[in-house]
Amino acid sequence: MKAVTERELLDRLEWLERLAGRKMEGEPVVVFFHTPLCGTCAAARKMIQIVEHIMPEVEILEADVNFLPTVVNRYRIRSVPALMTAGSTPGKEPEVLYRMGSVEDMLNFVRSVKS
């Protein structure tokens, strides 16, 4: 996973929105939202690392919500851990997965953005 700042993440998401406005597709974005002291986030991180191993063609970004007030408000991130996909279809709102039940659930969620 690649750690990103709020500015880097907003730049990517805004670029996808501009492309969607032109009915064009960009490279989808998958973001893992977490906090450092969250135990469930640590367990979810391990599952996401397996997803990365199975799907190396997908770049998964990670971001600490403590440093993302604008992103959290704009995309209504309600809790952590959260996995957000954006940019799979022009004009489609980003989707957020909060229930990190299994690696299979996460794989299906990430695959939905790549199809």
Domain range enclosing 60? 2-114
All residues at 6 or more sequence positions from 56 whose CB lies less than 8 Å from its CB, including other chains: none
Is the pLDDT at 23 greater than 70? The verdict is: no
Residue 66 is part of a domain; what is its CATH number? Answer: 3.40.30.10
pLDDT tens per residue across span 31-52: 999 999 999 999 999 999 999 9
- Kind and range of the H or E element at 40? helix 39-54
Question: How many independent structural domains does the chain possess?
Answer: 1
Q: Choose among 61, 58, 94, 89: nearest CA to 75.
A: 94
What is the arithmetic mean of pLDDT over 7-30?
A: 78
Q: What angle (nearest 5°) sits at the alpha carbon of residue 83, between those of residues 13 and 110?
A: 85
Q: Report the percentage of the chain scoring pLDDT > 70.
A: 89
Please indicate whether residue 67 or residue 1 has the higher confidence score (pLDDT).
67
Residues 28/84, Cβ–Cβ less than 8 Å:
no
Is the pLDDT at 12 greater than 80? The verdict is: yes
Is the pLDDT at 62 greater than 90? The verdict is: yes
pTM: 0.88
